[in-house]
């Protein structure tokens, strides 16, 4: 699609990833590794752990989406409609969006749990690299039928999503955990009560 103008829905998706990257820049500006590893309370995640989780989740999602996209490319399944989630996909995306709903708090699958002892610098580098991978996936496959091409959700057994839904889920999931990381940073900056 190099010679054509990008479709509005693709630009909006790409802008969502750019906005998250910019927000992460504001979030981490002036935060050192010890502050990035700080926990607001026992059992909660630090800013570094939120970013580490997102980096891992993005890669797992992309690993699940790439084979479906490659098959669609091989079959010539080109774009026919905007890259938007269907009814169930929209519901799932809404459930991912911040603020985090108390009923939807749970334990992340082992494969995407943050690594203990991750520094903010390392987590930030991994997150930014995963963000580059997500945007590269979008650029590579934006001319495909993202709404009509399905992949097996790597976290919800037996559920298939469209590639469009997968991309929207990644963006919403990122916003969810950046919202969580901002809450940690605000708690970190609150003056201690004597």
Tell me: the pLDDT tens digits for 126-153?
A: 999 999 999 999 999 999 999 999 999 9
Q: What percent of the chain is predicted at pLDDT more than 90?
A: 73
Tell me: the pLDDT tens digits for 52-94?
A: 999 999 999 999 999 999 999 999 999 999 999 998 889 989 9
Label residue 113 by pLDDT band (50, 70, 90).
confident
The domain spans of the chain are 8-189
Name the class of domain 8-189: mainly alpha
Instruction: Tell me how far CA of residue 167 lies from CA of 4, 62, 138, 179, 194, in angstroms.
Output: 22, 9, 8, 19, 46
Task: Please name which of 94, 66, 88, 56 lies closest in space to residue 172, comparing C-alpha atoms.
Answer: 94
Q: Are 120 and 47 in contact (CB under 8 A)?
A: yes
Write the Ramachandran bin of 43: left for phi over 0, alpha for psi from -120 to 50, otherwise beta: left
For residue 47, pLDDT over 90 is answered with yes
């Amino acid at each position: 699609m190099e010679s054509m103008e990008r479709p509005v829905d693709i630009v909006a998706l790409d802008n969502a990833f750019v906005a998250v990257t910019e927000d992460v820049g504001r979030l981490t500006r002036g935060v050192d590794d010890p502050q990035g590893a700080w926990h607001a309370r026992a059992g909660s995640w630090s800013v570094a752990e939120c970013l580490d989780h997102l980096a891992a989740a993005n890669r797992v999602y992309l690993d699940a989406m790439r084979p479906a996209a490659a098959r669609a490319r091989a079959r010539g399944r080109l774009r026919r409609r905007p890259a938007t989630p269907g009814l169930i996909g929209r519901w799932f995306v809404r459930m991912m969006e911040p603020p985090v709903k108390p009923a939807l708090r749970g334990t992340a699958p082992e494969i995407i749990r943050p690594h203990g002892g991750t520094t903010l610098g390392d987590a930030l580098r991994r997150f930014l690299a995963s963000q580059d991978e997500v945007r590269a996936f979008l650029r590579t496959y934006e001319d495909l039928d993202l709404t009509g091409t399905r992949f097996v959700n790597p976290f919800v057994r037996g559920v298939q999503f469209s590639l469009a839904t997968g991309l929207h889920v990644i963006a919403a999931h990122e916003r969810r955990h950046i919202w969580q990381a901002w809450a940690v940073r605000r708690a970190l900056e609150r003056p201690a009560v004597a």
